Homo-oligomer: A and B are copies of this chain.
Amino acid sequence: MSETKILASYVVNGTLAEIPGEVLREARRSLVNFMGCAVGGARDEAVDAAISAFRPFAGAPTANVLGRDERLDPLHASLMNGISSHVYDYDDTTPKNYCHPTSPIASALFAYASVNPVRGRDFMEAFIYGFEASSRIANCVYPTHYDLGWHITGTAGVFGAAAAIGKLMRLTEPQMIWALGLAGTQAAGVREMFGSMGKAFHPGRAAQNGYGAALLAQAGFTSGPRILEGPRGFSAVTTAGKFNLANVTKGLGTEFDLLVNTYKPYPCGIVIHPTIDGAIQLREQHGFAPADITAVRLRVAPLVLDLCNQQGISKGLQGKFSVYHGAAIGLVRGRAGVGEYTDAAVNDPDVKRVREGATATADSAVTEDQAGVEVELRDGRRLSVFVEQSLGNINKPLSDRQLDAKFRDQAVVNLPADDVERLIGLCWKIEELTDVGELVQAAVPQSARAASAGA
């Protein structure tokens, strides 16, 4: 039995008709969330730098980059979409394997749809099968893979991009096996990049390289046939042998990881979210001013300090990996939007003072959805709260309307409000579109919408 072959066959032969309605609904929500993040992040300096570096080497400018004026070839557009959609750490998460699953897949798909006519139904089909393939591979290698230090969003994501693009390209099963193999042998990205632009580079390269793997396979470029189960394949090599191959095929066609996808209310590491919730709750309940706060004590799951223990910070990006910053903005500002993760916000004197007065204790009795927040005030009072379920987790998901609000908050930075509303509407009805290119056109500034290929 070859898990690679079984998964390739599933992706090649699967149809949208086999997908339950609730999975379709979650796929739509995933794409809405993705598009808001991509348009919202598109003007970040990381995207500027990547375009500046690669534009002189890009191919014919046929593909739109979501949220940008520039047009690039679709491989480079995939890269930029991946950076944009992940750069604020605001995209989706499947907590069971810590992937941010949609970015690598949808980044490639929207680039592909920008240069090829793609029906909405076909786009959705490719997205769902790509998502499930990617997530199953992540389940196979998680948790050892992640614990060793792999950024699983990139490493599992490149398979998803290859599967999704390969499906739109109508690869045969042998070609799909090659596409998965060539994707897996490009799987890369280490957590040492967290807190730098390198983190968002991972889903971008995953999108670009997965797309490239499908192109190579179509052209007859061969790979080893056992990327998943082979003794020198992705699973064994990236886990030092500690993986669970059964997770690739378990419940295939009946269980869908899209159903456990979640969307962040705050643009930072998801394990910080319960701390932020608690901080906001305390501020709302007690109405103290920043100057009243003399100390903050956090009680968090051990993983929080493993991932998000950054102290002595001065950059917005670092704030995304600082549970202390999360507590500080919740307590000082009562919110944690994109505006709380700028360099200016991190250096805001009130935020800085509260952050630097915060301490955290790892407690294995606290789950990753939970956090204890205690504030000590100038008048000696100690206020505390224990958050049992953070907003946005699988049991307390963002509603469709909350997703719309999140989308608007991000996208209005880059597009006029009317355009944002139209784009939101197109995302929700993506399956009905005759050509997803219409949606891509709606996701770029007016000036980039010329039908002809011109940079």
Contact = CB atoms under 8 A, between A and B. Distances in A.
A368 to B, nearest CB: 18
Given A201-B185, A202-B185, A73 B57 contact: yes
A201 B224 contact: no
A56 B74 CA distance: 10
A161 interface: no
B226 A201 contact: no
A396 to B, nearest CB: 30
Contacts of A188: 185-188
Contact of A190 (B150, B191, B233): B233
Given A237-B149, A240-B240, A50 B216 contact: yes
Interface stretch (A94-102, A192-200, A254-262, A330-338): A192-200
A223 interface: yes
Interface in A195-235: 195-198, 201-202, 205, 212, 215-216, 218-224, 226-227, 230-234
Quick one: copies of this chain in the complex?
A: 2
Contacts of A413: none
Nearest to A58: B59
Interface string A36-48: 0000000001100
A233 B45 CA distance: 24
A75 interface: yes
Contact of A222 (B60, B186, B197): B197
Nearest to A231: B149
B49 A216 contact: yes
A194 B73 contact: no
B198 A192 contact: no
Contacts of A75: 57
Contacts of A285: none
Given A57-B74, A150-B237, A237-B148, A219 B52 contact: yes
Given A49-B220, A221-B201, A240 B59 contact: no
A288 interface: no
Contact of A192 (B190, B192, B233): B233
B58 A216 contact: no
Contacts of A73: 57-59
A236 interface: yes
Contacts of A365: none
A193 B223 contact: yes
11 contacts: A45-B220, A53-B216, A54-B212, A57-B74, A59-B59, A186-B205, A192-B231, A192-B232, A192-B234, A193-B223, A198-B224
